[in-house]
Amino acid sequence: MKRRGDKYHGTFYPAAHYDAMSLIQADNDNSVKECVSEAEREGNVQATTLKPISQEEGKEFEATVHELFRITN
């Protein structure tokens, strides 16, 4: 990760579907994909990537879903 300039923020253990979650900050999606692929090759790891979005992007997404499905509050 360091070689590519990615930053590791730590590993967390959510009370949810996943056993553990590591937070990685990278300049682009491809860099994250490479990091995850490396981890999977090196050991008994099965990974899923989750891309966070900002609160503003979330509100835009929600508005789009409401419009598409004609949801009213």
pLDDT digits (tens, 9 = 90+) for 42-55: 888 888 888 889 99
Whose CA is closest to 6, among 34, 44, 48?
34
Give residue 10's identity as a one-letter amino acid code: G
Interval 29-42 mean pLDDT: 88
Give me the domain span that covers residue 27. 2-69
Place of tokens 């891309």: 51
Count of structural domains within the chain = 1
Whether the per-residue pLDDT at 72 is higher than 70: the answer is: no
Question: What number of other Cβ atoms are within 10 A of residue 35's Cβ?
Answer: 19
Whose CA is closest to 1, among 48, 29, 36, 44?
36
